[in-house]
Structure formats: structure tokens, C-alpha cells
Structure 1
């Protein structure tokens, strides 16, 4: 009887020896499976980030729908009221109205009159910003800004990208013109619109390169990540262990992406000019990246659930079979 022929031991058949695989086959196979699983785990968060960036940068309707709820956000409304009121007050000169007042009394009267006028303008601007028609104005402003951004990133040149607040000022001018004292104020507001710079000219070339990289990578990275994970799982000899490792690895890399988002958010807010209110910028950043954060936490949950099922599932099934009555 040959050495590899089955023999009977305690009523069961087993092989006395197994034919060994080629000496280098098992290590190479294991290394290949580990490398594929590692690459797939690293590509997962990159896939999430590029798909999110591509959808927000290239789809105007999606972007507008994302930022639409900010029109009712109190911190954003307060920031708009503050900025627009400051813009209106810079074009109002009261010195000519106080010529008949003695010079010694002008400073105190001018300060008191300016404070009262600012409160009046602030109230009128707030009525515009909190009115029923403001969400439509907000949507129109951001739709125009996103189209300008898309045109700037897809064309040549380095013209800055701005957020044009002319529609808001038009509503404010109309509101002031219909409120007694506001008639003179409305005529003092210039017809030119106010603009907020979203992307400066020196930053446009770098943003264009990132935009093109995102558009190229977004369709490829998810497929590459899925192929690497599947190939690593099929190549592994111990597939249950491979599934556990893949789940833990994907959860870990997704958690690193979540931490990177928090770090980038903090640094971006710290780098903003002092004139931009931090609460409003925080609300905008959280709203814009909300879908990405949801995707990251969904990926973490799915990866951990997969690893848990792979680790607990087979032993639990075997234990249930042993305990079940025959």
C-alpha cells in the first residue's frame, strides 16, 4: 500500500500523508492575497472621496440640492445679514445731513444716528433673508456660482471664481425702497453687485489639475478596489481569515479618512479670513461633506459587520449543529 493511500483509524478514513505543494507556491500565493487585500483596503477610502468630489464638482443640480437647506440655517442667515448690512452701510454718508448741527455735537449725534440707521438696515435685510422668497434667491446664487466654477475648471485661464450676491442686494434695495426712510438709502446703494471670492486666481491652476484627476479617477477607483478585494479573497487559501482581514482593513482605512476629514476641516476653518464667520463656514462645510461622511460611516459599519460575521458565523453554526437534536 502506498504512503498516500487512505488508512482506517478509529473507524474513520484519513490520508496518511498529503502530497506537498511546490515549495514556493504557498508563500507566493499568500503574499499575493495579502497584497491584493491591502491595496483594495487602501483604495476604498480613495474611491469614496473621489466619487463624492466628482459628484459635487460636476453635477450642478446635486450641489444646489446639497446646499439648499443652508438657506434656513440661522448661522448662515446671520452671516448674510451681517455682510449685506456692512456692505450697505459703507455706501451711506451722513456727514452732509449734519451740516446744520454744531460741530461740537456732530460726533455724538453721528454715532447715535449711525447706530439707529444700522439697526434699521439690519432689520430690513433680515426680513429679506428670512422671507419666503429667499430660498429661491439662495438657490439661484449657488447655481450660478457652481456653473462659474465648472466653467473655470474645464476651460483655460485663471479668472477667479466668485459668489455673486447681486440678487440678494436687489431684494434688499427693493425692501429699503418701500420703507419710508429707506427711500434715500436705496438710492445710495450702488447698482453693482457684491462678490465673495471662492477661488483666487493663483489657486485656479492647481484646482484644475485636481479636478481633472478626480474626473479620471472617480470611475476607475471603485472598480479597482472591488477587483483587488475579490481577487485577494479568491486567491487566499484561508478565505475566512482573509475575509476578516479585509473587513478590518477596510474599516481601518475608512476610519483614517474620517480622521483626515476632521483634520482638513479644522485647518480650512482656521485658514479663513477673519471677515468670514466661523459658525457659518462650519455649517457650510458640514453640509457639503455630509454625504461623504455618511458614506464613510456606512463603509466602516459594513466592513466591521462583514468581519464579525466571518469571525463568529462559522463557529456559531457548528456549535448550533452540535447542540441541535438529531
Structure 2
């Protein structure tokens, strides 16, 4: 019973985290909200949106009066300057006061779409719709004063990032349902097994030491597993996704789980040390009290 309870403990932590963070829209939105002010995330958004804007701006027609021999060099300089201008405008949007509300709305919509997709049938892909951000950029560029209708060239549709591809939806749905089913059961089962094992053990102090050591070890293994999964997930991302932004997102999303793991490790080690030093500590206290001529209170 003690062994089963010890093994169920890290699974309980993982499923409770997954249920609270990944299946609860309000909790998820509150978790990722601080990322709106993260510099790496802002840089990634500025880079992606600027690239999206520049792909729809064609300057060849503006250079028809320039001799063909000089056109290529001038086009390169003009494009570089225009990219810098667009990037500054996008950064003003991303660092503006209203951006956190836009960021929250985008992620709330995406999470609700993910939840609807995983609770229903079908294999439609799940996307992160960036249209609200692009709309703010379009408004920012509308009065640019360059004589170029940049805002009109930005498409109103197709501004999205695929979060879950169609082939991955069935597997994600199975994991989603497993988490929703196991999260309410595993913590109670782990607690019952640990409590029953301690009550039935003949040498409870030794059993408590074993439980504390085992819980600390399994929680540490979970921490190692999280680090390995994080590394593998970041290495498997496409090259177009900035690693700094992906790292910030992963660390923010798993922050509560890592905090819970370290709390379990600390509590388990304290329990182990306290149980191991219980009777000797009492004898030492009695010896000190006798040496100073006082009588210890009841223990």
C-alpha cells in the first residue's frame, strides 16, 4: 500500500495540474496573461506580424521610374527601411496599454476552441487566431504618412497559428479525457493507500521514514521528467518558432506544477528527518534538561 501510494503521488500532481491548467479556461488565461509583458514573447509577435505585413507589400510598382540597373539596390534599401518602420509600429501595438486585453482575448478564444474540439467529435485543427492583434496593427499603420496604403494590404483573414494539427486531435482527445477522469480519483487514491499503509504497518516510524523518502524520490523523478520533456519539446519545435518565446511559455504554463513538486519534496524530506530523529531528539532534550536541572514537559 505504501509503495502504491508513493507511486501514485507524482501522477496525482501531474493530473491535477493538467486538469486545472489545461481544461479550465479561466485558470489558463490567468496563467498566460503575464506573458503579454514578456520581452521574448513580444519580440516573437513583432517578428511574425512584421513578416506577415511585409509579404503583402509589393514595391515594384513604385520604382518603375527608376532605371532598371539601379532598381534592385534601391528596392533593397527601401524594403529594409519600410520593414524597420513597420516593426516599430507593431512594437508600439504590442507594448501598448491595450495589448494585455487583446492577448487575453486571443488566448481565451483559443482555449475555448481547444476545449470544444477535445470534448466533441471530429478532427478539425485547433488554431490561435491572431486577427485581433493584426487589426490593431492595421489601425496603427492606417495613418502612417508615407503615402503607401500599408493597412489596406494586410489581409483580414488567415492570421492564425496552428496549435493542434488534425492528425494529433484524436490522441489529444484521449489524453484530455484521461486527465479529466483521473484527476479527481488519483489524489484520493494516493492518500488512502498511504494512510492505510501507515495504519497497518507494525513499525510505523520506519514506515513513515520510507514514505517520506519514497515521496521525495518520486517527486524528484517527476521534476527530472518535466525537464526532459521540456528539452525534447523545445528541440522538436519548427525552426520558425523562437526558442526564447517558447521557453517562456513552457515555464509559465508549468510553473504551478514545478512549484507543487518542490513543495512535496520539501515536505517529504522534513517528514523523513523528523521521523528519523524522533526518539533520539527526545532523549537529547531530556539529557539537556537534566543537565540544567530542569524537568522536561510531557512529550
- Quick check: TM above 0.5? yes
Unaligned runs of at least 5 residues, structure 1? 1-35
Provide, for residues 241-263 of structure 1, a one-character-per-residue CA deviation record: whole Å limited to 9, x for no partner: 00000000000000000000000
SS for the counterpart of 2:5 is: helix
2:267 aligned residue: 302
Quote how far apart the aligned CAs of 1:230 are.
Answer: 0.6
1:313 and 1:178 map into 2 onto residues whose CA distance is: 75
2:110 aligned residue (136, 142, 145):
145
1:102 aligned residue (58, 61, 67):
67
Unaligned runs of at least 5 residues, structure 2? none
1:308 and 1:145 map into 2 onto residues whose CA distance is: 46
- Computing the radius of gyration from Cα coordinates, the structure with the larger value is 1
Quote how far apart the aligned CAs of 1:57 are.
Answer: 2.0
Per the alignment, do residues 182 and 239 of structure 1 end up closer, same or farther by CA in structure 2, a change over 3 Å counting? farther
1:233 matched to 2:198: yes
1:183 and 1:62 map into 2 onto residues whose CA distance is: 43
Give yes or no for contact 1:177–1:183 (8 Å, CA) kept in 2: no
Quote how far apart the aligned CAs of 1:75 are.
Answer: 0.4
Quote how far apart the aligned CAs of 1:178 are.
Answer: 2.0
2:235 aligned residue (254, 267, 270):
270
Per the alignment, do residues 206 and 182 of structure 1 end up closer, same or farther by CA in structure 2, a change over 3 Å counting? farther
2:151 and 2:262 map into 1 onto residues whose CA distance is: 50
SS for the counterpart of 1:100 is: coil
Quote how far apart the aligned CAs of 1:286 are.
Answer: 0.1
Q: Would you say how many aligned residue pairs link Structure 1 and Structure 2?
A: 291
1:67 aligned residue (32, 40, 53):
32
SS for the counterpart of 2:230 is: helix
2:61 and 2:143 map into 1 onto residues whose CA distance is: 23
Deviates more, 1:316-325 or 1:234-243: 316-325
2:83 aligned residue (108, 112, 118):
118
2:175 aligned residue (205, 210, 214):
210
Quote how far apart the aligned CAs of 1:181 are.
Answer: 1.9
1:316 matched to 2:281: yes
Per the alignment, do residues 63 and 145 of structure 1 end up closer, same or farther by CA in structure 2, a change over 3 Å counting? same
SS for the counterpart of 1:131 is: coil
1:132 aligned residue: 97
2:279 and 2:72 map into 1 onto residues whose CA distance is: 84
2:121 aligned residue: 156
Quote how far apart the aligned CAs of 1:54 are.
Answer: 0.6
1:41 matched to 2:22: no
Quote how far apart the aligned CAs of 1:205 are.
Answer: 0.1
Quote how far apart the aligned CAs of 1:193 are.
Answer: 4.0
TM-score (norm 2): 0.96
Q: How does 1:195-206 map to 2 (within 5 A)?
A: 195-206=160-171
Quote how far apart the aligned CAs of 1:183 are.
Answer: 5.3
TM-score (norm 1): 0.88
Provide, for residues 85-135 of structure 1, a one-character-per-residue CA deviation record: whole Å limited to 9, x for no partner: 000000000111111111100100000000000000000000000000000
Give yes or no for contact 1:269–1:278 (8 Å, CA) kept in 2: yes
1:178 and 1:281 map into 2 onto residues whose CA distance is: 33
2:21 aligned residue: 56
